[in-house]
Each structure stands twice: as structure tokens, then as C-alpha cells.
């Protein structure tokens, strides 16, 4: 479990992260979403002691990162895959991690195999690695100590579609076995597929957080019926605000269960009833962060489904 409490980071008057609090729970994948410059990396760096918070704190399994005696055994961290020593081979980098953590030698080969880096690739210098290979090596380094917690900044960056699928399955298995996974991304589709919980950040502030299903439900409901006017009337009588579209669909902020109940009570047949998540999380993400986009220049808004 990771707990972030009121983290704030200010750089000479500029607030990169403002009062950020959330929890990433064991057995779940928590997606940390935000547009460029939103403050994801800064928040993650503060969690692992690489950036000193201006105020606030973060703990991993109840302790600040700096207090973990052998941190690699508790938390696997991948912040910048390109920060690995370019002159060393992949095998050397894993070997250093293995020795530093006091792990058996065999772990290096195990991990190379786990992230599908071949023997030949393992002998190449990292400067000659593709971005995808660097990510795989970074994941191997994060996993080598078999930690219970993973903190990964944009781990899907540079991976091809098969690599993205591999990463998704790896993180899912990891959480299913009780691990805590926090991953940041702007690849919304990837987050939507893999995450259980979401924390959305814009301009350094949390703009939404909750379970994925809560946040998608918060996107509202689309319902279609041959008797759209009757249903719109019934919804209004039930105190549910809705918008009647020209194509016979109705959109409402209420959840699908409530809309179904109103339709049943009104005797209105439905041909479609679903969460308004057709465009998925991307729609919600863009909507939630629109007010904090650098282009808009407007003040940030707060919205929470939790
Ligand atoms: N050392 C620093 N000095 C000054 N400003 C900084 C520093 N580090 C980060 N920032 C600023 O803090 C803001 C947040 O940056 P951060 O890297 O955390 O964003 P991010 O959400 O990870 O973005 P991206 O998706 O582009 O990686 C940015 O405006 C960035 O320029």
C-alpha cells in the first residue's frame, strides 16, 4: 500500500504539485493519469525520496521510502528508463541490482527471461537499446527484488502493441497476487484496460479519483427507447435531469440502474441502456482536465467520484 498525504512541491514560486493525497491499495492497479506537465513524475519522485516535498509526506507499506532498509525488496521503481547507465550492458545493470539487494545470482537470468530480453540483448550496452528494450530492463530492475509494491512512471512508453499487452498482463498478475501497482500514463486506453482505481491529476491538482467503475459511472448513462419523450418525462418526474437527443437517445448523469428502474416503473421499453463511456476514459479524462490544460488558461476545477 502507498499513502500520499497532502504532497506539495513548489519550485521558486511555481507550484508543480499542490496538496495531492491518495492511496494505492494492495491487490489493485492504480492508474495515475494526467496531461503533460501535470505533476505525475514529480509526485512519484517525492514518493521515493528523489525530490524533497515542500510539504506533505508519502509512505510505502506504512514507512517513508528513506526508512526502508533494503528498498528494492519492498518497492520496485521505474521512473526514467533512459536514466540507466548507457555504457553498461543490461546484464551488468541487473547484476548490480542483484548484488546490492543481496539476491542469488540466478535472479538475473530469471528476470531477463521474465521480461523477454534475449542473451544476445543482455550483452549489449544500454546505449544501443531501443526504448522498448530499456523499458523491459527497467521493469526487470524493478521486479528483481520481488517487492510487494511497484511504482512505474509511463512504463508502456516505447513498447509495441505486443509489449503493451505483455506489460498489462504482468501488472494484472502482480496485483492479483496481492501486489500494489501504481502506474502513471497518458496512454488512456492502457490505463482503462488495466487499472482498478484511478487518480487523475491536472496542473498539479487531483481533479478526480475513485474506482474505475465509479468514474465511468460518473460519466452518466445513455438510454435509447422508441418512446423517448415518455421516458424523458418519467425521468424528470423522478427528479433525474436528462437531455433528449434527436436520434431518440437520452443522456443523463444518473447511473444505468436508476434509469432502468424509472423506465420499468413507467412501462417504457428500452432498446439500449449503457454507461456513457463509449469513448471510454479518454472522454472523461479530457473533460476533467480541460479546465487545467495549459491551452485554456482557466482555473482548475475539483471533481471527485470518491
Ligand atoms: N526541477 C524542477 N524545477 C522546476 N520545475 C520543475 C522541476 N521539475 C518539474 N518541474 C515542473 O513541474 C511540472 C510538473 O512536471 P512533471 O514532470 O511532474 O509532470 P508530468 O505529469 O510527469 O508530465 P509528463 O507527462 O510530460 O512527463 C512541470 O511544469 C515541470 O516543468
pLDDT digits (tens, 9 = 90+) for 7-23: 999 999 899 999 999 99
Q: What count of other Cβ atoms lies within 10 Å of the Cβ of residue 87?
A: 9
pLDDT tens readout for residues 136-180: 999 999 999 999 999 999 998 888 888 889 999 999 999 999 999
Of residues 199 and 295, more confidence is placed in 199
Nearest CA to ligand 1 atom 18: 39
What sign does the dihedral 140-144-148-150 (CA atoms) show? negative
Q: Ligand 1 center to residue 39 CA distance, Å? A: 6
pLDDT, residue 153, reads 93
Q: Is the CB of 11 under 6 A from ligand 1?
A: yes
Weakest mean pLDDT among 171-175, 262-266, 274-278, 292-296:
292-296
Average pLDDT over residues 92-121: 94
Of the pLDDT bands very low, low, confident and very high (cuts 50, 70, 90), residue 306 is very low
Average pLDDT over residues 64-88: 88
Q: Ligand 1 center to residue 204 CA distance, Å? A: 9
Q: Measure the CA–CA gap between 213 and 288, rounded to whole angstroms.
A: 16
Average pLDDT over residues 26-54: 93
Residue 283 confidence (pLDDT) above 80: no
Q: Angle 293-294-298 (CA atoms, 0-180°, nearest 5)?
A: 70
pLDDT, residue 93, reads 94
Nearest CA to ligand 1 atom 17: 41
pLDDT, residue 299, reads 40
Ligand 1 pocket test: which of 15, 40, 207, 293 has the largest number of ligand atoms within 8 Å of its C-beta?
40
Closest CA to 93 of 51, 57, 129: 129
Nearest CA to ligand 1 atom 26: 36
pLDDT, residue 35, reads 83
pLDDT, residue 305, reads 38
Residue 217 confidence (pLDDT) above 70: no
Of residues 28 and 295, more confidence is placed in 28
Q: What does the domain layout of the chain look like in residue ranges? A: 2-210, 220-275
Ligand 1 pocket test: which of 39, 47, 152, 206 has the largest number of ligand atoms within 8 Å of its C-beta?
39
Ligand 1 pocket test: which of 13, 41, 51, 182 has the largest number of ligand atoms within 8 Å of its C-beta?
41
Nearest CA to ligand 1 atom 4: 11
2-210: CATH topology? Rossmann fold (3.40.50)
Q: Is the CB of 42 under 6 A from ligand 1?
A: yes
Please state, rounded to an integer, the average pLDDT across all residues of the chain: 87
Asked if residues 220 and 254 have their Cβ atoms less than 8 Å apart, the reply is yes
Q: Ligand 1 center to residue 36 CA distance, Å? A: 8
- Element at 133 (helix H, strand E): helix 131-143
pLDDT tens readout for residues 246-271: 777 888 888 889 999 999 999 999 99
pLDDT tens readout for residues 99-109: 999 999 999 99
Ligand 1 atom nearest the C-alpha of 9 is 12
Q: Ligand 1 center to residue 76 CA distance, Å? A: 22
Q: Is the CB of 36 under 6 A from ligand 1?
A: yes
> What does the DSSP 8-state code read for residue 300?
P
Q: Read out DSSP for 186-207?
A: S-HHHHHHH-SEEEEEETTEEE
pLDDT, residue 279, reads 52
Ligand 1 pocket test: which of 7, 42, 203 has the largest number of ligand atoms within 8 Å of its C-beta?
42
Of residues 257 and 86, more confidence is placed in 257
Q: Ligand 1 center to residue 80 CA distance, Å? A: 13
Asked if residues 256 and 219 have their Cβ atoms less than 8 Å apart, the reply is no
Given CATH 3.40.50.10490, say whether it is the number of domain 220-275. Answer: no
pLDDT, residue 172, reads 95
Q: Is the CB of 186 under 6 A from ligand 1?
A: yes
pLDDT, residue 277, reads 63
DSSP E strand boundaries for 62-103: 75-78
Average pLDDT over residues 83-98: 90
5 contacts: CB under 8 Å, gap ≥ 6: 21, 56, 57, 58, 59
Of residues 166 and 303, more confidence is placed in 166
ipTM: 0.95
pTM of the model: 0.79
Of the pLDDT bands very low, low, confident and very high (cuts 50, 70, 90), residue 189 is confident
Amino acid at each position: 500500500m502507498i499513502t500520499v498525504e497532502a504532497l506539495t512541491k513548489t519550485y521558486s514560486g511555481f507550484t508543480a504539485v499542490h496538496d495531492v493525497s491518495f492511496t494505492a491499495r494492495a491487490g489493485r492497479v492504480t492508474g495515475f493519469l494526467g496531461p503533460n506537465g501535470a505533476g505525475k513524475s514529480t509526485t512519484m519522485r517525492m514518493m521515493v525520496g528523489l525530490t524533497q516535498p515542500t510539504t506533505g509526506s508519502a509512505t510505502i507499506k506504512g514507512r517513508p521510502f528513506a526508512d526502508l532498509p533494503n528498498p528494492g525488496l519492498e518497492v520496485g521503481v521505474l521512473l526514467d528508463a533512459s536514466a540507466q547507465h548507457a555504457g553498461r550492458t543490461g546484464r551488468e545493470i541487473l547484476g548490480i541490482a542483484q548484488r546490492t539487494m543481496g539476491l542469488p545470482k540466478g535472479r538475473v537470468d530469471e528476470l531477463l527471461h521474465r521480461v523477454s530480453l534475449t542473451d544476445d540483448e543482455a550483452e549489449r550496452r544500454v546505449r544501443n537499446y531501443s526504448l522498448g528494450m530499456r523499458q523491459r530492463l527497467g521493469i526487470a530492475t524493478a521486479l528483481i527484488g520481488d517487492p510487494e509494491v511497484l511504482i512505474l512512471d509511463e512504463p508502456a512508453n516505447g513498447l509495441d502493441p505486443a509489449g503493451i499487452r505483455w506489460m498489462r498482463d504482468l501488472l494484472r498478475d502482480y496485483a492479483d497476487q496481492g501486489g500494489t501497482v501504481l502506474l502513471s500514463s497518458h496512454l488512456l486506453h492502457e490505463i482503462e484496460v488495466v487499472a482498478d482505481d484511478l487518480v487523475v491529476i491536472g496542473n498539479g491538482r487531483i481533479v478526480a479519483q475513485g474506482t474505475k467503475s465509479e468514474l465511468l459511472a460518473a460519466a452518466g448513462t445513455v438510454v435509447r427507447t422508441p418512446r423517448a419523450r415518455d421516458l424523458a418525462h418519467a425521468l424528470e418526474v423522478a427528479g433525474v435531469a436528462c437531455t433528449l437527443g434527436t436520434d431518440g437517445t437520452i443522456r443523463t448523469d444518473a447511473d444505468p440502474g436508476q434509469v432502468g428502474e424509472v423506465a420499468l416503473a413507467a412501462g417504457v421499453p428500452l432498446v439500449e441502456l449503457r454507461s456513457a463511456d463509449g469513448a471510454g476514459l479518454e472522454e472523461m479524462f479530457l473533460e476533467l482536465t480541460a479546465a487545467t490544460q495549459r491551452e485554456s488558461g482557466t482555473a482548475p476545477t475539483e471533481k471527485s467520484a470518491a
